[in-house]
A and B are shown apart, each in its own frame.
Chain A
Amino acid sequence: GENVEQHPSTLSVQEGDSAVIKCTYSDSASNYFPWYKQELGKGPQLIIDIRSNVGEKKDQRIAVTLNKTAKHFSLHITETQPEDSAVYFCAASKVRGFQKLVFGTGTRLLVSP
């Protein structure tokens, strides 16, 4: 089955810096890669996603890149703000929405003012 690894487990940055979180997956049949932000005591919220026919997607300060050959995808957050502090999870799935998601291990991002 699919296995998703995520690095780093914790990431501390200063406000205004960029943050990069990386994930690798094992199943070449996976074609949908969402990223979730989870705040303490809450459920995960989708922040951005990418499908396998696209190499990069951007939404304001957030971008995701995908390298299907290497089975890598990354989340990039620019101009970080303290409210970006949360746990971020990557995930992989074969079909958007319907099929089960396999989550990475999570990255705790701390943005210091």
Chain B
Amino acid sequence: GAVVSQHPSWVICKSGTSVKIECRSLDFQATTMFWYRQFPKQSLMLMATSNEGSKATYEQGVEKDKFLINHASLTLSTLTVTSAHPEDSSFYICSAFDRQGGIYNEQFFGPGTRLTVL
């Protein structure tokens, strides 16, 4: 199956700083990537959908100026949490999908990135 990686796997930062999380599809071209946030013992909540080369579509209630998403290539999407605060501490998970009719027809999830803001 397809492999999706995330980097870093965990990060600790001070309040007010920005943090960038990378999501890579390792063996297929991801025309669409999804970013999710998961708080402890809760479900995955979709934050935004990004298509390669275009602006991300954010879910209602997600601040696009705070969570910057860039999907500049078919194998890489980045999520930047700007001016992070303790309430942004969460498990961030990406998934990738090849919309151009490749051999894969499902979302593949990355291993997640645990963000802790002090």
Closest to A91 in B: B44
B54 within 8 A of A: no
Binds B, one of A11-19, A39-47, A65-73: A39-47
Give residues in B with beta carbon < 8 Å to A.
Answer: 4, 6, 32, 34, 41-46, 49, 93, 95, 97, 99, 104-107, 109-112, 114
* Residues in A whose Cβ lies below 8 Å from that of B95: 43
Known contacts A46-B106, A97-B106; is A104 also within 8 Å of B112 by CB?
no
Sort A-B residue pairs by CB-CB distance and give the 6 closest, nearest first.
A43-B109, A103-B43, A43-B112, A43-B111, A97-B106, A103-B44
Are A49 and B93 in touch, CB under 8 angstroms?
no
Chain B residues with CB under 8 A of A97:
97, 99, 104-107
Contact of B99 among A34, A98, A105 (CB under 8 A): A98
Task: Return the contact of B46 from the options A43, A96, A100, A106 (Cβ within 8 A).
Answer: A100
Q: Which of A41, A96, A98 contacts B114 (CB 8 A)?
A: A41
